[in-house]
Amino acid sequence: MERFFFYVFASEIRCPLLSFINKGQRSSNSLPLWLHFHRIVFKVDLSENMSLEVELQKRKTFGIVSHPDAGKTTLTEKLLLFGGAIQEAGAVKSNKIKKHATSDFMEIEKQRGISVATSVMAFEYRDKQINILDTPGHKDFAEDTYRTLTAVDSVIVVIDVAKGVEEQTEKLVKVSRMRNTPVIVFINKLDREGKEAFDLLDEIETQLDLKVTPLSWPVGMGQRFKGVYSLYENNLILFSAHGKQRDEEVIKINDLEDPVLEKNVGKMEAEELRHDIHMITSVYPEFSRDAYLNGEICPVFFGSAVNNFGVRELLDCFVDIAPNPLPRETEERWVQPDESKFTGFVFKIHANMDPKHRDRIAFLRICSGIFERNTNYYHVRQKKNLKFSNPTAFMASKKSVIDVAFPGDIIGLYDSGNFKIGDSLTEGEVLKFKGIPSFSPEQFRFVNNTDPMKTKQLNKGLDQLMDEGVAQLFTKEDNGRKIVGTVGALQFDVIQYRLKHEYGASCDYEPVNLYKACWVDSNNAAAMKEFIQRRKRDLARDTDDKLVFLAESAWTLKMAQENHPEIKFYFTSEF
Ligand code: G4P
């Protein structure tokens, strides 16, 4: 990158800072002698600071989450169409694992391959660079999604008008709420019959624990769907199917009593709309950007993604209100995005689809400073410097090599086994980014080596797959047996398949009766020692050597908690 350094000569400066330095000593015109001798006083890299600030203001990095089939892929595609990142519908491959593929891991792998390209999609809209992070909706890949959410600054939640809040929506919003991530809700498929809008708002408030404020409101739905009224822009937007909106179908409404409403939507609908808007303004809090940014209030939009209806309104509002790259917490301190030194963390690792090349792509979220190609950066966990000659950015479905990247950007780094999820890269500072936990798995199996000649390969394969976050591996304290813990059953097939095809190792599984794995610690060393002695049979180590309690049932866990009050039990690895 081209840089201009400005060397500021002290003898030529008459600035407030120097006046401050000189305060009480002499007038601002007569500088202290040492400043004349040390002619170069400040070295200001103006171009870098300026471009960092400008680029920061441009960036909006967010994730779209939903229960499968609510319309996440369709909405993503429409947003990309607005940004000109794609030219035609159907260009975005769904990142979801199709229903028929639940036991077909070859198919899963293929689909995971497709999802590399569509994992991050960047586009420009109204002078902003928008980075969308795609998240698998399938529940067996929930951990992947949780981790992706650590790399975004805000979230759009898509809800199907007929189905309302579903299981996956609940789980994913809960994870977003853990970090107070600002949330916007898009209620989709208004061209179909569904639940009443007020009922949906109640559902969102009670089930998702979000305080809502509608910024658009539907006029009818299904066959009677006439359009939406935008409370954000005071417009009535009349519905035409298939994105065939014309300018004259957006009607400015300054006064809801205006008979133009009747003219466009009918008498009954106009009355109903007035009534609803009156209810909304008296019941729901007024929209405040600060409250949204603090995660205290969540704007709601209505529309139909497949018809490209209500999507532009969503996008325009998103661009106005969504946060620019936010500070990130590390174990050591908060990192501000405008700090001049580069920092970033790895939140996702994707295996190469070609078994002949075992390299992988590590997805890095840039948190501060400017990342530059072919520059040495410090890999904090491995305590060594690494240089990247081919860092990639993801523009829609294309990947391209980049020279620089800014906070909020996600870049792909080719990796031959250096990275683990959660790793930090810096310019030398030791930082460990927080908020990338492992979650307590829900399914467990003993893993047995079925080819003793390939023990090394098996161990290596398991280690690398765990680094990628495919599953978690626990080694029992009493007998050293290995237990794989996953969020969903699919991962067991994926592990077996990949061990065989990528590492030449083979394994089988044995059932193990476990309910939960909880991380444990205590402030009381004596109590911890006693706990370890008494419960050795139920203890294991994770791949970071953290102690984990393996509970056979909810009851065993409860009893352990009661019998060992000095021990703390955690359901995520970060505490
Ligand atoms: P997902 O990524 O959240 O899993 O959902 P996706 O976008 O794949 O959408 C799921 C289904 O819902 C798709 O139909 C899609 O066309 C449909 N859909 C999305 N938005 C709307 C909408 O506003 N109205 C209606 N009526 N349908 C919508 P499909 O039949 O499963 O797939 P396809 O064959 O249409 O691609």
Q: What is the CATH number of the domain that holds 470?
A: 3.30.70.3280
Q: Give the distance (Å) from ligand 1 centre to CA of residue 327.
A: 35
Q: At what angle do helices 142-149 and 167-178 cross, to 10 degrees?
A: 30
How confident is the model over 220-238, as a mean pLDDT? Answer: 87
The answer to whether residues 378 and 292 belong to one domain is no
The confidence score (pLDDT) of residue 489 equals 80
Residue 433 domain-assigned (yes or no) = no
Check residues 441 and 189 and name the one with the higher pLDDT.
189
pLDDT in the model for residue 399: 66
Assess whether 74 and 200 both reside in one domain: yes
Q: Predicted confidence band at 22 (pLDDT cuts at 50, 70, 90)?
A: very low
Looking at the domain assignment, is residue 49 inside a domain?
no
137 touches ligand 1 (CB under 6 Å): yes
Q: Is residue 172 part of a domain?
A: yes
Nearest CA to ligand 1 atom 14: 69
Q: How many residues does the chain have?
A: 575
* Lowest mean pLDDT across 26-40, 51-65, 466-480: 26-40
Look at residues 548, 574, 569 and name the one whose alpha carbon lies nearest to residue 444: 548
Instruction: Write out the residue range of the structural domain in which residue 369 sits.
Output: 328-426
Q: Are residues 73 and 116 in the same domain?
A: yes
What is the model's pLDDT at position 83?
Answer: 75
| pLDDT for residue 23 | 38
pTM exceeding 0.95: no
pLDDT at 73: 84
Residue 74 CA to ligand 1 center (angstroms) comes to 6
Whether residue 258 is found in the same domain as residue 357? no
Cα(69) to ligand 1 centroid in Å equals 6
| Assigned domain for 472 exists | yes
Helix (H) or strand (E) holding 525: helix 525-534
Q: Residue 432 — pLDDT band, cuts 50, 70, 90? A: very high
- End position of a domain, from candidates 321, 345, 364: 321
Q: How many beta carbons lie within 10 A of that of residue 385, not counting itself?
A: 13
pLDDT in the model for residue 574: 72
Mean pLDDT score of the chain, rounded to an integer?
82
Is residue 434 situated within a structural domain? no
| Least reliable range by pLDDT among 35-44, 148-157, 200-209, 515-524 | 35-44
Checking if the pLDDT of 452 tops 70, the result is yes
- What is the pLDDT at residue 111? 54
Q: Is the pLDDT of residue 371 over 90?
A: yes
Q: Quick one: average pLDDT of 523-530?
A: 94
Q: pLDDT category, 117, cuts 50, 70, 90?
A: very low
Q: Both 167 and 129 in a single domain?
A: yes
Q: Which pLDDT does position 37 carry in this prediction?
A: 36
Once rounded to an integer, what is the mean pLDDT over residues 343-347? 95
- pLDDT tens sequence across 139-160: 666 777 788 889 999 999 999 9
**Which tens digits make up the pLDDT trace of 478-493?**
999 999 998 778 788 8
Q: Are residues 227 and 89 in the same domain?
A: yes
Task: Give the pLDDT mean for 310-325.
Answer: 94
In a domain, 432, yes or no: no
Share of the chain above pLDDT 70, in %: 81
- Of 295, 321, 347, the residue at which a domain comes to its end is 321
- Are 461 and 547 contained in the same domain? yes
The CB of 168 under 6 Å from ligand 1? The reply is: no
Q: Is 189 in the pocket of ligand 1 (CB under 6 A)?
A: yes
| Nearest alpha carbon, ligand 1 atom 19 | 71
**What pLDDT score was predicted for residue 87?**
57
pLDDT value at residue 246: 64
The answer to whether residue 431 is domain-embedded is no
Q: Which residue has the higher pLDDT, 74 or 21?
A: 74
Query: What pLDDT is stored for residue 457 in this prediction?
Result: 92
| pLDDT of 324 over the 80 cut | yes
Rounded CA separation 538/550 (Å):
5
Pocket test of ligand 1: the residue of 64, 65, 67, 69 to mutate, having most ligand atoms within 8 Å of its CB, is: 69
309/333 same-domain check: no
| Greater model confidence, 332 or 90 | 332
For residue 48, pLDDT over 80 is answered with no
Q: What is the tens place of the pLDDT at every residue in 159-182?
A: 999 999 998 888 888 888 888 899
Instruction: Answer yes or no: do 372 and 450 share one domain.
Output: no
List residues bridging with 121 in a β-sheet: 132
Residue 287 has a pLDDT of: 93
- Look at 245-254, 355-364, 378-387 and tell me which has the smallest mean pLDDT: 245-254
Question: What would the mean pLDDT of 3-28 be, rounded to a whole number?
Answer: 37
555 and 419 part of one domain? no
Q: Give yes or no for residue 306 CB within 6 A of ligand 1.
A: yes
The percentage of the chain sitting over the pLDDT mark of 90, rounded to a whole number, equals 49
247 confidence band (pLDDT: 50, 70, 90) = low
Cβ atoms of residues 303 and 67 within 8 Å: no
Q: How confident is the model at residue 397 (pLDDT cuts 50, 70, 90)?
A: low
Q: What is the mean pLDDT of residues 443-451?
A: 93
Check whether 5 has a pLDDT greater than 50: no
Per-residue pLDDT, averaged over 350-376, amounts to: 82
Q: Is the CB of 370 under 6 A from ligand 1?
A: no
What average pLDDT score do residues 253-266 get? 80
Report the C-alpha gap between 425 and 343 in whole angstroms. 6
Do 254 and 338 lie in a common domain? no
Residues 463 and 565 in one domain: yes
For residues 269-293, give the mean pLDDT.
Answer: 92
In a domain, 378, yes or no: yes
Question: Which whole number is the average pLDDT over 344-349?
Answer: 92
Confidence of residue 401 (pLDDT cuts 50, 70, 90): confident
166 within ligand 1 shell (Cβ under 6 A): no
Q: Considering only CA atoms, which residue is closest to atom 34 of ligand 1?
A: 90
Q: Alpha helix (H) ranges present in 284-397?
A: 289-293, 311-321
Which of 426, 460, 486 is the endpoint of a domain? 426
> What pLDDT sits at residue 572?
81
Buried b (16+ CB within 10 A) or exposed e, 411-435: bbbebeebbbbbbbbbbeeebebbb
Asked if residues 306 and 74 have their Cβ atoms less than 8 Å apart, the reply is yes
Indicate the number of domains in the chain.
4
DSSP 254: S
List the CATH number of the domain containing 69.
3.40.50.300
DSSP string, 257-313: T-THHHHHH-HHHHHHHHHHHHHHHHHSPPP-HHHHHTTS-EEEEE-BGGGTBSHHH
Can you give the pLDDT at residue 355? Answer: 56
Least confident of 32-41, 114-123, 430-439: 32-41
Residue 524 tokens, joined: 């009381």
pLDDT recorded at residue 341: 96
pLDDT greater at residue 462 or residue 257: 462
**pLDDT, tens only, 181-204:** 999 999 999 999 999 999 999 999
**How many helices and strands, by DSSP H and E, does the chain display?**
16, 33
Task: Using pLDDT thresholds of 50, 70 and 90, give the confidence band for residue 6.
Answer: very low
> Would you state the pLDDT for residue 17?
38
For the chain, the first-to-last Cα distance in angstroms comes to 40
Determine the distance separating the centroid of ligand 1 and the alpha carbon of 92, expressed in angstroms. Answer: 13
